[in-house]
Amino acid sequence: MVEAPATEEGWFALHEFRSIDWDAWRNAPRHERDRAIEEGRSFLAHREALATAETGDSAVFSVIGHKADLLTIHFRPTLDALSTIERSFENTALAEFTTTESSYVSVTEVSGYVSDAYFEDDEAEIDDGLRRYIEGKLKPEMPDDEYVSFYPMSKRRGEEYNWYDLSFEDRADLMAGHGEVGKQYAGRIKQVIASSVGFDDHEWGVTLFGADPTDIKDIVYEMRFDEASSRYGEFGQFYVGRRFPPSDLGAYLAG
């Protein structure tokens, strides 16, 4: 059996994809819509406000296309906190006008492929820059007012190309090459990688943030030529959207 990478986990993540019941919305009396907007706004704003470097982060995004209208992403230190958030939303008047179309459960993760020093060195010897880098991966912040792309992925276990049959070194080399492509997008694209092994249907959830949506298209396309993706990547559904502040919820629903 080949060696599995060491991993360290950070915040748990819940991605929720909801559609608006536009027929019910259109026909609801104004005071019901106002209440739904206010309770939805308040719920989202509180989740964002409570979120700090210690306690997680939350954000809401509009999603383009029929698969969903709203995406909410929550990062929290425990699965229980995510479960509470999921159920608390159902107590808001906004929930009456939404249906949960999909979701994704994962936990942020760094692995020995990308930071072996972090895993192998004495804790005292890890330099502060690396420590901050790892911290940023495990407790990620979500940038304001940017586009988002989410997709789940797994590594292929084909009869010829089987990621889980490769030696640790081969996998580490492939991940390093993959990282090189990513570095070219530094400052333009921020990514959050979270493991869903044992939690959800693919092995990882990938969330990309960027101020220009064509950068998102470009990085995913360019990485597809990288062996780690071209030979070993298997992708689920893709969602694209844009973050908005909870105070804009009323405007969003007004069309």
By annotation, the residues acting in catalysis are 151
3-state secondary structure of 243: strand
Least Å from the CB of residue 48 to a copy of itself: 18
Q: How far apart are CA 129 and CA 177, in angstroms?
A: 22
The conformational region for residue 187 under phi > 0 = left, psi -120 to 50 = alpha, else beta, is left
Least Å from the CB of residue 147 to a copy of itself: 7
Tokens 């333009």 label which residue? 188
Name which of 25 and 133 has its Cβ closer to a copy of itself: 25
Name which of 117 and 176 has its Cβ closer to a copy of itself: 176
3-state secondary structure of 23: helix
Name which of 130 and 156 has its Cβ closer to a copy of itself: 156
Q: How far apart are CA 79 and CA 203, in angstroms?
A: 17
Q: How far apart are CA 240 and CA 237, in angstroms?
A: 10
Least Å from the CB of residue 57 to a copy of itself: 18
3-state secondary structure of 31: helix
